[in-house]
Amino acid sequence: MKDFDIPFYYKSSFIQKIKELRKERDHYKKDFSPTVLDFGPLQIFLARHFGFCYGVENAIEIAYKTIQDNPDKKIFLLSEMIHNQGVNNDLQKNGIEFIFDTLGNQNISWDKISSDDIVIIPAFGTTLETEKILSDRNIDTLKYNTTCPFVEKVWKKSALLGKDDFTVIIHGKVKHEETKATFSHAKENSPSVIIRDIKETKLLSKIIMGEIESSEFYNIFEKKYSKGFDVKKDLVKVGVVNQTTMLATETQEIANCLRKVMVKKYGENEIDKHFADTRDTLCYATNDNQQATLELLKREVDLAIVVGGYNSSNTSHIVELLEEKFPTYFISDETKLLSEYEIQHFDTSKKTEKVSKNYLNKNSKVRIVLTSGASCPDTVVESVMMKLLSFFGNTKPIENILSEV
């Protein structure tokens, strides 16, 4: 895999060495068990896979090279480069302005952007409608396009479905930049609809089976279907793709549910004519991170700490998995470890931060799961680790831990 030239302050020599050691021993990624770092009074179970993925490092490299090579030009990003506030803040400090916020609200009018300016397309990709706006203003949409290749893979899969007259069912979050982009590309080639979860899938299934009036489709999936969508015609042949950062198990559950419905309606012998076996379009990094998280669930620990951007989809799914078994704290960086008694963390259900007390039980050896999302720099994970260590006395030196690993 390519080595990317990203700012040194995103890298951690300690974590990088651990990752390199694990890769040497497990080149084909068959071992998803965590790395156990025994500091004495504190034992950290570091996930096998976490941190910047290929798409994120590629996007960051392009962004910083663009800044370096164009000191006299105005540089814009369509929206957040990735869902990590620290990285986005750093880009803004370097003079990059964001045209849209993460919810799609436009911060900068197109009238203020000229053909002399640079517009970077983020890792999530963008819609065909936005690409046309840029093209009409004579702004290059190729040179500074950082769209993740695994997102583009989903677009290609959608195009193939459309070529075979299948409707594209997109498992994703309707307001997420990537899902917006995928929907835009998919609906160019085929009827398309976005579904959020298995609950919506079951409603769609009942519409397919005629158990819910077809007219209700337009209410249930308002603003989630392509123009001219015909329920009676466009739900005869379907295939599932996903926002690459969704839970793999959930996408599979959705696909299985729709397949069963098609079998029930048309019969097993006719299933290939009505359901496309697209398998999983999840990206490799999301899949690796989720597999590593499932391995963490097999351990007996006191708590889990997940580091990353609060609006990061792939990170929030890691949190969902871990909190099924452990007290789990979702934090953006080490500053959220207020002390050994208090932690400020994000409540995914209420979408707000809160402070919890006595999260560390120091009466015995403390065992902590530590991981992060694909948009979190390794340096932030290391800073969290070092802050945790500062709450304990008589911990082993980092050098000793590396030799043990």
Residues serving a catalytic function are: 178
Which residues are 170's β-sheet partners?
A: 194, 241
Residue 261's contacts (CB-CB under 8 Å, 6 or more residues apart) are 205, 208, 209
CA gap 56, 311 in Å, rounded: 15
DSSP state letter for 79: S
| Phi and psi, residue 290, nearest 5° | -70, -40
Which residues are 97's β-sheet partners?
A: 76
CA gap 38, 404 in Å, rounded: 9
Torsion over CA: 196, 202, 203, 206 (sign):
positive
Torsion over CA: 170, 172, 175, 178 (sign):
negative
Could you count the other beta carbons within 10 Å of the beta carbon of residue 360?
19
Q: In this structure, are residues 170 and 193 in contact, taking their beta carbons and an 8 Å threshold?
A: yes
CA gap 110, 96 in Å, rounded: 15
Strand 35-38 to strand 42-46: parallel, antiparallel, or no bridges (unpaired)? antiparallel
Q: What strands, in cross-sheet order, belong to the sheet with 192-195? A: 192-195, 167-171, 238-242, 275-276
Q: How far is CA 192 from the centre of its chain?
A: 22
CA gap 51, 144 in Å, rounded: 23
Q: In this structure, are residues 157 and 255 in contact, taking their beta carbons and an 8 Å threshold?
A: no
Q: In this structure, are residues 315 and 308 in contact, taking their beta carbons and an 8 Å threshold?
A: yes
CA gap 258, 61 in Å, rounded: 40
